[in-house]
Structure formats: C-alpha cells, structure tokens
Amino acid sequence: MGAPLIGARIQRKEDYRFLTGAGQYTDDVTLPRQSFAAFVRSPHAHAKIRSVNAAKAKGAPGVLAVYTGEDIAAAKLGGLPCGWLITDVHGQPMKEPPYPVLAQGKVRHVGERVAVVIAETQDQARDAAELVQVDYEPLPAVADGRLARAKGAPQLHEIAPDNTCYVWALGDKAAVDAAFAKAAHVTKLDFVNNRLIPNAIEPRAANGSYSRADDSYTLYVANQNPHVERLLMTAFVMGLPEHKVRVVAGDVGGGFGSKIYLYAEDVVVTWASRQLARPVKWTAERSESYTSDAHGRDHHTVAELALDKDGKFLAMRVKTTANVGAYLSTFASCVPTILYATLLAGQYTTPLIHCEVTAVFTNTAPVDAYRGAGRPEATYVVERLVETAAREMKIDPAEIRRRNFIRSFPYQTPVALLYDTGNYDATMDAAQKLADVAGYPARKKASEARGRLRGMGYAAYIEACGIAPSAVAGSLGARAGLFEAGEIRVHPTGSVTVFTGSHSHGQGHETTFAQVVADRLGMAIENVDIVHGDTSKILFGMGTYGSRSIAVGGTAIVKAMDKIIAKGKKIAAHLLEAAEADIEYAGGVFKVAGTDKQKTFGEVAFAAYVPHNYPHDKLEPGLNENAFYDPSNFTFPAGTYVCEVEVDPETGKVQVDRWTAVDDFGRIINPMIVEGQVHGGLAQGIGQALTEGAKYDSHGQLVTGSFMDYAIPRADDVPFFQVDTRETPCTHNPLGVKGCGEAGAIGAPAALINAITDALGVKDIAMPATPQTVWRTLNQKKAS
C-alpha cells in the first residue's frame, strides 16, 4: 500500500457534490404532495394571549390547516424537555418550566411560536400567517440577565420565583476566601460575555411526513444528532415508539451548536403531517433564525484572581449570572455549569477555585451551547484575569503563565477534571516563535510612527472535549449517555461502508473517518464510504458537539474494525490451514507469520459471503461488526494564541494584524481539515470580540435581528491565520486524538481583547469592541 493515510492532507470526498450543487440539504428535499408551514410568532417579549382567531387564515387560498396552542394541548403533545438536570446549592432540582411547542396562553419572548399555518405553497402559508389575529395583552418584560432577579422584575414562570432556574456552585468557598485574605495581589474584573446568535448559513429546516401504510413518520431535519432528536421527540414530546420514527439529517449547512436541539418546529411539522396525511415542510427565514434559534453565551461575571508576590496563582473566585432565556433549551442547563466552572483551572496549577452560577430566565430567546459552550466563557474569565494580573504586577504575560503552568500529568484540578496529558510550554514556545514576539517592539514603534496604537494579547486555553464518560456525565445530571456507535459493513468484494453516529455538517467526517478506516484496513480510501445522519441506517448515535467526533465516534469505528480484523483472522486461518494465533494483519493482507502464505482482505471478505470453504462450526458467515465506545475520560486539547492588533485612534477601528495559533489536538488525522476547523473557530471568536452581539432593548425587542444589524465577520474583517500544532497524544483512546472543532472560538476572544486593552492602555473593554466602543473608550481615557 501507499503512504500512511493518518496525518495526510487528503482532499475531501464530500467536496464534489457541494461544489456542483448536488448536496441535499433539508430544504432541498421536496416530497410528493408536499405542503408548507409558516409559523405565527409573537411580536411581544411578554404577553398574555387573550385569543387567537384563525378564521380568516383558514379561508385563505391554499390553506390546509391552522393549528394553535389549543390544538397542541388537545393532542396532548408534551413540552420540549431539557436533557440535563442541575441540582442547586440547596440540593434541590433546577426549576424546569413547561416549554410548549405552541404557546399556551402566554408568550415569553419575541419569536415564540403561537400558531402554524399549513398551505399548498410556501407563499400561501406565509400570506395566511399574516391573517391570523392574535389578541395580546402585553406585559412588562425583562431581557437583561442582570435585572432578572431585581425587586419588582417581571416574572416569567410561576414555578421559578425571582426568575431563578438555579443557583449552583463548585469548589470550597471558605478555603478560597481564606486564600484571598492572604494574597499579595488580587486582580478583579467585572464583565459581560456577550450574547451571540450562531447563524449557520443554512437556516433551520424540517420536513415531516407520515406514512399510513405502516403508521410511521419520517422527519428530514437540519440537525447535528438525529438519534437524540428522535429520542427526545418520541419519548418526551409525542409519546411515539422510536421504531416508528425515522429522522434524517442529510447535508446540514453548519451547526455550531444551534442544530443540536429539539425545536418546536420539528415537532409541529411531524405531528401535523399525520393530521393532514401530507408531508409538511418548514424552512426558517433568516429573521426567524435570529429570534428562535438557540443563542449562545450571555454571562455577567465578576471574577477575581489571588496571587502571591511572585505572580503565583493562589485562588480564583468567580460569580456568574447566566441568562438562559425564556425557556430551558435541550442542554441549556449544563452549559454555564458543568461545561464552564470545570474549565476554570485552565492550564494552571491554581489550587483553589470557587464558582457560583445563577441561571435566570428572561424574555429572550433560549440560550444553549454555541461553539465552545461554556469553555469560551471560562477561558475568557481565566485568560482575561491572567493577562490583567500580569500587567498590574508588571510581569510579562507569557512569563506569568509559565510560572503557573501545570507540568506534571495526570493532573487533578480543583474543579473536578483530571487532565491526562499536555505540554503547555511547547505550545507557548512555538506560538511565541511563530508570532515573532521578539519583533513586536519594532512593529509597535512602526505603528506609532503612523499614528496607530498596536497591542498584543495572549490566550492559553484548555478545553474538555470528547464528551464524555457516561457515568461521570450521569453523576453530574445528564439524562442521556454520551457514548458513540460505529459499524463496519464489509461487502463481498471487499469495499467497506462505515456507519457512524457522529454527524458531519462541515467537519469533513466522510474524509477523516475514511482515512482512519482505509489506513487501518490497508485499503484505498476510494473503497471506504462513510454514512451518517439517518436513524434508519445507523444503529445509534449521540451526535456531534463538544469536539467529540473523532475522539468518541472515531474510536467506536476503530473498535468495530478491531472486531472485523479479529474475525478476518479466523477466516484467514481456516483458508490458510494455519492456527489463528499465527495470523497477522497488515497492509490489507492476512498472513501466516514468518511465511509467504497469505489472503487479501478482499479474499477473506469474499469467503465470508460466499462461504463454500468456511469454518461454519466456529463462525457465522458475513463480515459486519459494530461497536459502542464510551470514553474513560474527557480529552484536553490546549494551545496558545497570540494576537496583534492595530487601532486607529481617529475612528476606533481595530485591525487584526497578526494571528498565531498553536494547538495541541493530540494526533492529527488530516492537517488540512484541522487547519480549516481552527480558521473557522478563530473567525467566530474574532466575531464575538469585534463585531457580534445580540441586543435586546429594555422591552425585550431584538434590535439585532438581521445580517444588517448583527455583524458576523466578513472576509475583510479577519486576517490570514498562522496556525501550527504540537502533539501530545491523548492517553486513553487508541487514535491518541483530542478534537479540534471548538478551539478557535474558545481561545480567540480573550486573546483579542487582551490585545485591544494593551493597545488602548485600559484595563477592560466590552465585547464586541466595535469602532464606536473603542473610540468612546479612548476618549473616556483621555477625559480622565
């Protein structure tokens, strides 16, 4: 066989169909007798619904049906469930208000679904939706998480007094407080981690159809984890047996977390398809995406770092209010707790950490995991504190990090995680070299000569990926397992179809996973196809999020391959009339050790399917194996980012001039794809720091509800990135892989804000650091 495939820059197998317009995204699927849905959404942030009058809409051209909350209640459809139970500081379960698929008497955020109109064409559905008359009694609203618990604040849910979902804490508060009392220096920051709107370029879409022939449903949906979608929808909402529902998430145009969840629209089109005995399709308009996709982040945090006189970290104290929006989305509760507080050790030996999180309901769209999910928020806390402390104590920001790096592994943090491996000096050293930190003073001088302010910032992040050991997740409140499934189907002529529960929506699994399989089985990559995204084809899957695909899904495939090879050895031993223990497998050939007797993989596969000469007494025919893999620990990708900005003091515009990222993702399967993941993550992190921020006004109206008001980065907002990697292989999975999908978004905001505050000579600046914000900050500094 040729060169090893692991570590090779193989061009993507999926590209041809995308480049020629042959991709099949959910909205591209049009079924016979297709009908179309349009949702009537609340224009109010908070209101009672006095009545819904659908008479006019029902009589409009082409309308097949109008359903309201009353119909949903009469059909006894359940509310949307939350998949993670957080137990509060008093040992009580979090407050879980009902989350109806169509509003029941009250709306709690702009964009909430009140009714659905289904018609022959999309235009007819949208036209008729305008004719549904909803009589609202507007109520006062609260949108800002910081105001949700204020006295007299409007109350969203009866079961959640003071709009509080939970108050949760991790760490030894008394010990932390004692350490602070003795500290030589304390750095304190008070900031907002801005609310983001994910904005995958493909809007959400769902197309439900019901078959009377076998009383079954098929849902085509833009989703990152079709099996989880099916489980939640059947077991918790619709009360259907799982085997009667097929969920297909074919090509999906980006997710970034926002397509993990079970959404109300998915349920409504599935349910309605049976009422009408016709397929019902809904595709979001972008304005609907803005108001009804799950948002991300939205923390208000007061964070403190205690240090000794040499800059050694003694303790960290963090208090966060997390705005979870109007309802609990599928994984909303674990993001600002389990995925956040546990990352506050970062790359450092900080011995004591306490974090308290208050999750509050507000009249805004639900907030859930968005690329990084808790870990960008944690990294922002740690890396802003560390850089600020360095400046306050006049220690070089890289040096203060080095003084506190963890260097002995495995390392048990004070916030529950056990880091298996890492080498933070290696990524820091490489980043400093690649970024030409030594040349920074000269560049700063040159900028000054042109009237520009130059600043440099670091972020040395860590993340916990490969989620998760199911037992650990379960003990922390997860209501589902977090394993992955894989299946290898060897065909009679020796080609292979691989079925994986990991979904690909841009990550390139069809290539990366094929590399892993072709490399291990010793065959041409063309002979391996990866299939994902269809519950009728794949035995099970927990899906794609948390940078878990290669570490968990890839390992499941490796385990299935081990079984294939083990069975192949038995077959080969029979064919070669040798002892099974003497059979070796390498390079696509089963060989009797020390001899030239051999059978190719194809010959063995053929024998398994045409078993004329076959050990029937010991083996079944066929060559098809599956495996489930539940990891024994998280993986811990880490790295160092160095960012240099140039600020125009006249306009406040920040130019990201240089960006260096050195990541340790463990072993890398396809560097080209990994680099692409880093680039994309960095751009989203830069977006958070520079251009993006969801704004609700005091009445709960979303004022950033389109691409014209909410600025995702455009090509000229971001620089070229210098990226490189260092490898410390993960110790507990066979590929040694850690995951790379979220790193960029996790590390970038802190590095960029550290650079901007350095350039401006200020302690802090709010994200997004738009030209206006920067200009005002500079002028305030001048005035004071």
Partner 1 sequence: MPVKVSMKVNGKAVSGEVEARTLLVTYLREHLRLTGTHVGCDTAQCGACTVHMNGKAVKSCSMLAMQAEGADVLTIEGLAKADGTLHPMQAAFKEHHGLQCGFCTPGMVMNAVDFAARHPGASEQDVREALEGNLCRCTGYHNIVKSIVAGSKAMAAGK
> Which one of residues 2, 4, 20, 408 is an interface residue with partner 1 (CB under 8 A)?
20
- Tokens representing 618 are 């010991």
Q: Taking the complex as a whole, how short is the minimal distance between the CB of residue 380 and partner 1, in angstroms?
A: 19
With contacts defined by CB under 8 A, name the span among 44-52, 605-613, 707-715, 775-783 that binds partner 1: 707-715
Handedness of CA 768, 772, 776, 777 (dihedral sign): positive
Nearer to partner 1 among residue 501 and residue 713 (C-beta): 713
Nearer to partner 1 among residue 281 and residue 559 (C-beta): 281
- Tokens representing 568 are 């192949």
> Which one of residues 143, 721, 738, 759 is an interface residue with partner 1 (CB under 8 A)?
721
Within 10 Å of residue 328's Cβ, how many Cβ atoms?
28
Nearer to partner 1 among residue 71 and residue 251 (C-beta): 251
**Do 326 and 365 contact (CB within 8 A), yes or no?**
yes
Nearer to partner 1 among residue 372 and residue 713 (C-beta): 713
Q: How many CA atoms lie within 13 A of 688 on its CB side?
A: 32
Rule CB under 8 A: is residue 673 a binding residue for partner 1?
Answer: yes
Rule CB under 8 A: is residue 665 a binding residue for partner 1?
Answer: no
CA distances (Å), 140 to each of 43, 192, 363, 425, in order? Answer: 14, 24, 9, 53
With contacts defined by CB under 8 A, name the span among 110-118, 274-282, 563-571, 677-685 that binds partner 1: 677-685
> Which one of residues 152, 715, 782, 783 is an interface residue with partner 1 (CB under 8 A)?
715
**Do 103 and 46 contact (CB within 8 A), yes or no?**
no
What stretch of H or E contains 221? strand 216-221
Rule CB under 8 A: is residue 8 a binding residue for partner 1?
Answer: no
Nearer to partner 1 among residue 196 and residue 334 (C-beta): 196
Residues 734-773 that bind partner 1 (CB under 8 A): 744
Residues 252-311 that bind partner 1 (CB under 8 A): 252-254, 256, 283, 285-287
Q: Taking the complex as a whole, how short is the minimal distance between the CB of residue 361 and partner 1, in angstroms?
A: 28
Closest CA to 464 of 473, 477, 451: 473
Residues 342-361 that bind partner 1 (CB under 8 A): none
> Which one of residues 506, 554, 631, 739 is an interface residue with partner 1 (CB under 8 A)?
506
Rule CB under 8 A: is residue 487 a binding residue for partner 1?
Answer: no
Within 10 Å of residue 628's Cβ, how many Cβ atoms?
16
> Which one of residues 1, 6, 7, 23 is an interface residue with partner 1 (CB under 8 A)?
23
- Tokens representing 519 are 């490399």
Rule CB under 8 A: is residue 404 a binding residue for partner 1?
Answer: no
**Do 555 and 484 contact (CB within 8 A), yes or no?**
yes
Rule CB under 8 A: is residue 712 a binding residue for partner 1?
Answer: yes
Nearer to partner 1 among residue 19 and residue 55 (C-beta): 19
Rule CB under 8 A: is residue 22 a binding residue for partner 1?
Answer: yes
Contacts of 765 (CB under 8 A, 6+ apart): 753, 756, 757, 773, 774, 777
Residues 87-146 that bind partner 1 (CB under 8 A): 123
Contacts of 573 (CB under 8 A, 6+ apart): 579, 580, 582, 583
Nearer to partner 1 among residue 461 and residue 721 (C-beta): 721
**Do 669 and 512 contact (CB within 8 A), yes or no?**
yes
Nearer to partner 1 among residue 83 and residue 713 (C-beta): 713
Q: Taking the complex as a whole, how short is the minimal distance between the CB of residue 690 and partner 1, in angstroms?
A: 13
Rule CB under 8 A: is residue 702 a binding residue for partner 1?
Answer: no
Distance CA 124, CA 129 (A): 8
Rule CB under 8 A: is residue 391 a binding residue for partner 1?
Answer: no
> Which one of residues 408, 716, 782, 783 is an interface residue with partner 1 (CB under 8 A)?
716
With contacts defined by CB under 8 A, name the span among 107-115, 506-514, 616-624, 726-734 that binds partner 1: 506-514
Distance CA 615, CA 570 (A): 8
Rule CB under 8 A: is residue 32 a binding residue for partner 1?
Answer: no
Rule CB under 8 A: is residue 19 a binding residue for partner 1?
Answer: yes
CA distances (Å), 402 to each of 282, 458, 637, 640, 685, in order? Answer: 53, 12, 18, 12, 24
> What b/e string do you get for 544-578 counting C-beta neighbours within 10 Å, with b at 16 or more?
bbbbbbbbbbbbbbbbbbeebbebbbbbbbbbbeb
Helices (H), 98-246: 122-129, 173-181, 226-231
Rule CB under 8 A: is residue 27 a binding residue for partner 1?
Answer: yes
The pair phi, psi for residue 637, each rounded to 5°, is -60, 150
Residues 151-210 that bind partner 1 (CB under 8 A): 199-203
With contacts defined by CB under 8 A, name the span among 46-54, 68-76, 668-676, 732-740 that binds partner 1: 668-676
Distance CA 704, CA 287 (A): 10
**Count of residues binding partner 1 (CB under 8 A)?**
58
Nearer to partner 1 among residue 224 and residue 500 (C-beta): 224
Contacts of 20 (CB under 8 A, 6+ apart): none
* Calculated CA dihedral for residues 712, 713, 714, 719, nearest 10 degrees: -170
Rule CB under 8 A: is residue 28 a binding residue for partner 1?
Answer: yes
Rule CB under 8 A: is residue 11 a binding residue for partner 1?
Answer: yes
Closest CA to 359 of 327, 395, 317, 407: 327
Distance CA 544, CA 548 (A): 6
Rule CB under 8 A: is residue 675 a binding residue for partner 1?
Answer: yes
Rule CB under 8 A: is residue 720 a binding residue for partner 1?
Answer: yes
Using CB under 8 A as the criterion, which residues of the chain lie in contact with partner 1 when the complex forms? 11-12, 14-25, 27-28, 30, 123, 199-203, 251-254, 256, 283, 285-287, 505-508, 672-673, 675-676, 679-684, 706-708, 712-716, 718, 720-721, 744
